[in-house]
């Protein structure tokens, strides 16, 4: 039984991290994790569920993430757009080889915070880098791996940045991406919009301006349908 890669995408402040945590809890509570675990004949101590992220899903990736999101680089020594793109590609290559492919080959259900679509939206549409170049780098870094399902949490750039800025009131720092201009984040949102139109078979748009509970319900409903299609033999109604 092959594993499945479920990715969560979106602009700043869209709530990806919160929703991944909610999905993790739901997968356990609904019994899906246990059913997959039983089908794979895994010991009780080995849960076939992996939560990961880009950048930062490996030890090397954590160091690259610190560089990529370092807010001090915005003024002292701005990172060049191509440098940024190559660092993300390096993180992805390590992540795919070290984490994603081994987990998927073992039959795990992988929940990933950002993947290739973020690079297209941020470095392609946001930074204006060549989309063909980005596609080539993504192909090299992933060795052709694509998500089985991508949830795009769609939120107006202004609303997302307002959520981010609210964190400043709680003395939480803003990273380099979050600190970029509103115009940049509007371009990023347009990039995700274009991707959703181009790949409707794998990208599901979720209205992220709804309440947290409503967003969670939409994601769970869609994921439940996909899980039943992916694992018909494990469906509780089968």
CB-count exposure of residue 71 (10 Å: 0-12, 13-18, 19+) = middle
Closest CA to 189 of 161, 149, 219: 161
Q: Does residue 228 lie within any of the structural domains?
A: yes
Q: Per-residue pLDDT tens for 145-159?
A: 999 999 999 999 999
In the chain, how many domains are there?
Answer: 1
- 126 carries a ligand binding annotation: no
Q: Does residue 214 lie within any of the structural domains?
A: no
Q: Does residue 212 lie within any of the structural domains?
A: no
C-beta neighbour count of 105 within 10 angstroms: 10
Q: Does residue 17 lie within any of the structural domains?
A: yes
Q: Rounded mean pLDDT of 199-220?
A: 96
Confidence of residue 19 (pLDDT cuts 50, 70, 90): very high
- 15 carries a ligand binding annotation: yes
- 56 carries a ligand binding annotation: no
Confidence of residue 59 (pLDDT cuts 50, 70, 90): very high
Q: Rounded mean pLDDT of 190-196?
A: 98
Rounded to two decimals, what is the model's pTM?
A: 0.94
- 225 carries a ligand binding annotation: no
Q: Does residue 10 lie within any of the structural domains?
A: yes
Q: What domain range includes position 49?
A: 4-146+160-206+220-234
Predicted confidence (pLDDT) at residue 73 exceeds the cutoff of 80: no
Residue 50 CA to residue 125 CA, distance in Å, equals 30
Radius of gyration of the chain (CA): 18
What is the full DSSP assignment across the chain? ---EEEEEEESTTS-HHHHHHHHHHHHHHTTHHHHHHHHTT--TT--SEEEEETTTSSHHHHHHHHHHT-GGGGTSSPPPHHHHHHHHHHHHHHHIIIIIHHHHHTT-EEEEE--HHHHIIIIIIIT---HHHHHHHHHHHHTT---SEEEEEE--HHHHHHHHHHGGGGT----TTTTS-HHHHHHHHHHHHHHHHH-TTTEEEEETTS-HHHHHHHHHHHHHHHHHHH-GGG-TT-
Q: Rounded mean pLDDT of 42-51?
A: 95
Closest CA to 36 of 82, 73, 4: 4
Q: Does residue 154 lie within any of the structural domains?
A: no
Q: What is the rounded average pLDDT for all residues in the chain?
A: 93
CATH code for the domain in which residue 226 is found: 3.40.50.300
Confidence of residue 109 (pLDDT cuts 50, 70, 90): very high
- 14 carries a ligand binding annotation: yes
Q: Does residue 74 lie within any of the structural domains?
A: yes
pLDDT of residue 99: 98
Q: Does residue 18 lie within any of the structural domains?
A: yes
């Amino acid at each position: 039984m092959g594993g499945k890669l479920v990715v969560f995408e979106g602009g700043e402040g869209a709530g990806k991290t919160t929703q991944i945590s909610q999905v993790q809890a739901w997968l356990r509570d609904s019994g899906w994790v246990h059913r997959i675990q039983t089908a794979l004949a895994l010991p009780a101590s080995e849960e076939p569920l992996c939560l990961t992220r880009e950048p930062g899903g490996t030890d090397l990736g954590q160091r690259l993430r610190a560089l990529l999101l370092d807010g001090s680089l915005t003024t002292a020594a701005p990172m060049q757009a191509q440098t940024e793109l190559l660092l993300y590609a390096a993180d992805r290559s390590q992540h795919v080889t070290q984490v994603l492919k081994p987990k998927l080959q073992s039959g795990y259900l992988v929940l990933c915070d950002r993947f290739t679509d973020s690079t297209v939206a941020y470095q392609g549409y946001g930074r204006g880098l060549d989309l063909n170049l980005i596609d080539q780098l993504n192909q090299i870094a992933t060795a052709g791996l694509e998500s089985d399902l991508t949830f795009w949490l769609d939120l107006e750039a202004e609303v997302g940045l307002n959520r981010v800025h609210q964190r400043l009131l709680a003395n939480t720092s803003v990273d380099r991406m979050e600190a970029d201009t509103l115009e940049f984040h509007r371009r990023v949102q347009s990039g995700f919009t274009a991707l959703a139109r181009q790949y409707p078979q794998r990208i599901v748009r979720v209205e992220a301006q709804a309440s947290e509970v409503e967003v969670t319900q939409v994601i769970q409903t869609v994921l439940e349908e996909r899980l039943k299609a992916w694992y018909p033999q494990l469906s509780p109604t089968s």
